[in-house]
Structure formats: structure tokens, C-alpha cells
Amino acid sequence: MGDRYADNLNTTVLPGYGRWDALAGFRQKDWDLRAALNNISDKTYYSSATSAAQIQPGAPRGLVVTGTCSF
């Protein structure tokens, strides 16, 4: 994501950022398992803003594991 303005008056700039995510999975006949690691480097970034006073930080490093079973 490149630099962008946080407000309509273009007074505050949110810095650009890059984020690394990874997904791995394992599938068998009746079940599968997946793991997603988001923001691997745990970099601080700002994902959005509705004004210069309301800037939203991005999510920190996170792991989501899901599994499904068919029967």
C-alpha cells in the first residue's frame, strides 16, 4: 500500500507499508487443516483513517487455524 492522505484536507499522510502473510494446509479424504499466519514480521502499520483524529492501526501478527471434517 502506498502513502495516502488520512483526511479530506490532505493535512495528514499515512505512510505506505508492505505486509507478509502465509497460508499452509493439509488435506485428507475426509478432513483438512489450514493455518494462516498474518503480518509475519509483526510490522506496525496504519490500515485506514476516517479523519486525522481517527487513524486505525493494522492488525498485529496473528495465527488462524481452521479444520473441517466431512461425514
In the three-class reduction of DSSP (H, G, I as helix; E, B as strand; rest coil), residue 3 is classed as: coil
Q: Tell me the residue range of the domain where 16 lies.
A: 4-69
Q: How far is CA 52 from CA 21, 29, 34, 40, in A?
A: 28, 51, 38, 28
Q: What is the pLDDT of residues 34-60, one digit of tens each?
A: 999 999 999 999 999 988 899 999 999
pLDDT tens sequence across 11-38: 999 999 999 999 999 999 999 999 999 9
Predicted local distance difference test score (pLDDT) of residue 23:
97
Residue 48 has a pLDDT of 92
Number of domains in the chain: 1
What pLDDT, on a 0 to 100 scale, did the predictor assign at position 71? 87
